[in-house]
């Protein structure tokens, strides 16, 4: 036999004094506890065969909580921000694909840090730049490989077709093919290179250098998105 609760209404508020508040299961499209301005946003229950609590936004369930699990749907993200709650996320933990967990942020630079209590850390980073090639035989990036870092490799994508040469080399000053040679120029071309001598430690900040090869051997147009993947260390502060 159901047990009834004692309650009182005060200026549109419901105060439960004893007993549970019993609600029907609801659905993603019709949550049992909904937002007054968006009736498809709220909470609902899975029912006797599925003892779960769901959260839904605009009719789509994005979170499920059971006695021992907390699940997000495939596009769900856990996000952190340096600002107030609700402001733009700057660090994101995401499911990028099946069996793939990714830590990323809202800009072109990605970092994962493993630290000690006295601030010593090892850090895996990826820094990116959308680089418009200079009208010259070589073109250096604005981003640099940080001093004293260990470069694992350099990756790139041609986003605007390159003209003025027949192929492209990628490296650094003094080693212009370290991260790729004979790369095609058409938009959509990608290159993943660990380098011919990698891992390589750079003692000073170093730009990535693109070199035009063949044809006029001088860039006349083209844009490349380039990413440097590296490891760096920090000493303890105490």
Pairing state between β 38-45 and 33-35: antiparallel
Task: Give me the pLDDT at residue 180, please.
Answer: 93
Sign of the dihedral through C-alpha 86, 90, 95, 97: positive
Q: Tell me whether residue 111 is in a domain.
A: no
CATH of the domain at 159: 2.60.120
Q: Tell me whether residue 188 is in a domain.
A: yes
**88 and 138 co-located in one domain:** no
**60 and 97 co-located in one domain:** no
Q: Tell me whether residue 112 is in a domain.
A: no
Q: Tell me whether residue 116 is in a domain.
A: no
**129 and 221 co-located in one domain:** yes
Tens of pLDDT, residue by residue over 117-142, are: 898 989 999 999 999 999 999 999 99
Q: Decide: 236 and 121 in contact? Cβ < 8 Å.
A: no
Q: Decide: 133 and 223 in contact? Cβ < 8 Å.
A: yes
Q: Decide: 188 and 157 in contact? Cβ < 8 Å.
A: yes
Q: Tell me whether residue 217 is in a domain.
A: yes
**228 and 129 co-located in one domain:** yes
**158 and 89 co-located in one domain:** no
pLDDT category of residue 31 using cuts at 50, 70 and 90: very high
Total structural domains within the chain: 3
**207 and 229 co-located in one domain:** yes
With 80 as the cut, is the pLDDT of residue 238 above it? Answer: yes
**136 and 211 co-located in one domain:** yes
**85 and 68 co-located in one domain:** no
pLDDT category of residue 1 using cuts at 50, 70 and 90: very low
**42 and 59 co-located in one domain:** yes
**145 and 187 co-located in one domain:** yes
What distance in Å separates the CA atoms of residue 32 and residue 12, rounded to the nearest whole number?
18
pTM tops 0.85: no
pLDDT category of residue 7 using cuts at 50, 70 and 90: low
**146 and 89 co-located in one domain:** no
pLDDT category of residue 5 using cuts at 50, 70 and 90: low
DSSP E strands, the chain:
6-10, 13-18, 33-35, 38-45, 53-57, 60-65, 70-72, 77-80, 91-97, 100-105, 109-115, 121-132, 138-145, 149-163, 167-172, 175-183, 190-193, 200-202, 206-213, 221-234
Q: Decide: 231 and 150 in contact? Cβ < 8 Å.
A: yes
Q: Which residues of 201-232 are buried (b: 16+ CB within 10 A; e: fewer)?
A: ebeeebbbbbbbbeeeebbeebebbbbbbbeb
Which residues form the domain of 154? Answer: 122-234
Tens of pLDDT, residue by residue over 73-105, are: 877 778 888 877 777 778 888 888 888 888 777
**95 and 144 co-located in one domain:** no
Share of the chain above pLDDT 90, in %: 62
């Amino acid at each position: 036999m159901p047990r009834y609760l004692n309650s009182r209404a005060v200026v549109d508020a419901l105060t439960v004094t004893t007993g549970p508040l019993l609600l029907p299961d609801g659905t993603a499209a019709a949550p049992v506890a909904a937002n007054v301005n968006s009736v498809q946003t709220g909470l609902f229950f899975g029912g006797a065969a599925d003892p779960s609590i769901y959260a839904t936004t605009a009719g789509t369930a994005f979170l499920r909580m059971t006695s021992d699990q907390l699940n997000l749907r495939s596009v769900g993200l856990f996000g952190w921000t340096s600002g107030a709650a609700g402001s733009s996320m700057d660090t994101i933990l995401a499911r990028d694909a099946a069996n793939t967990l990714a830590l990323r942020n809202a800009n072109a630079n990605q970092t994962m840090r493993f630290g000690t209590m006295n601030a010593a850390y090892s850090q895996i980073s990826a820094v990116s730049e959308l680089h418009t090639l200079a009208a010259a035989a070589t073109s250096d990036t604005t981003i640099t490989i940080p001093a004293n870092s260990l470069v694992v490799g350099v990756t790139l994508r041609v986003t605007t077709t390159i003209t003025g040469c027949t192929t492209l080399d990628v490296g650094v000053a003094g080693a212009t093919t370290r991260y790729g040679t004979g790369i095609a120029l058409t938009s959509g071309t990608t290159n993943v290179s660990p380098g011919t001598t990698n891992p390589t430690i750079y003692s000073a900040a170093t730009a990535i250098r693109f070199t035009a090869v063949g044809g006029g051997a001088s860039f006349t147009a083209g844009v490349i998105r380039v990413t440097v993947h590296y490891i760096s260390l920090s000493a303890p502060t105490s």
